[in-house]
Amino acid sequence: MSTDVTLRVARPTDRLDEVVRFYSVGLGLSVLDSFRDHEGFDGTMLGHPGAPYHLEFTRKHGHRVGRAPTQDNLLVFYLPDARKWQEVVDRMRAAGYEPVPSFNPYWDRSGRTFEDPDGYRVVLQNGSYP
């Protein structure tokens, strides 16, 4: 793999609108694209234009997905600037999402963990990736 690769993390959900709200209104990601009833699927891609990653959430009509299998299914965002980190934490709270204790206490030392409507977790880590 080279550095010009774009990473898409895709997962299904039963609560597409609620999940999109969590990641857009709460986390601050932009809706990059979406589709409705494409061969029985609805979906939304979120991220930042030009970033080398984005998230895709899909729903298949008539198919139930369920919740996250564990509390340790994580997306970790490293935010090295303390002020910007606090802004994102405050944004999540203003959107109605409160931090939850991390399954692994390591993430509570310098970060905050939030659980999306499907039970998957996002860690906002105040630090740089080593």
Q: What is the pLDDT of residues 73-87, one digit of tens each?
A: 999 999 999 999 999
User: Does the global pTM surpass 0.85?
Assistant: yes
Cα separation of the two ends of the chain: 20
d(CA 82, CA 4): 29
Q: What is the pLDDT of residues 17-41, one digit of tens each?
A: 999 999 999 999 999 999 999 999 9
**Residue 108 token pair:** 């509570």
The CA-CA-CA angle for residues 4, 123, 118, to 5°, reads: 95
Closest of 124, 41, 110 to residue 77, by C-alpha: 124
Q: What is the pLDDT of residues 59-113, one digit of tens each?
A: 999 999 999 999 999 999 999 999 999 999 999 999 999 999 999 999 999 999 9
Mean pLDDT of 110-121: 98
DSSP letter assigned to residue 69 = S
Whole-number pLDDT of residue 130: 80
Are β-strands 7-12 and 53-60 bridged in parallel, bridged antiparallel, or unpaired? parallel
Top CATH class of 7-60 equals: alpha beta
**Residue 101 token pair:** 């204790």
- Laid out side by side, the sheet with 53-60 consists of 7-12, 53-60, 41-47, 30-38
> Under a CB-based contact definition with an 8 Å cutoff, are residues 79 and 88 in contact?
yes
d(CA 31, CA 99): 23
Domain segments of the chain as ranges: 7-60, 74-125
Range 74-125 has CATH code 3.40.47.10: no
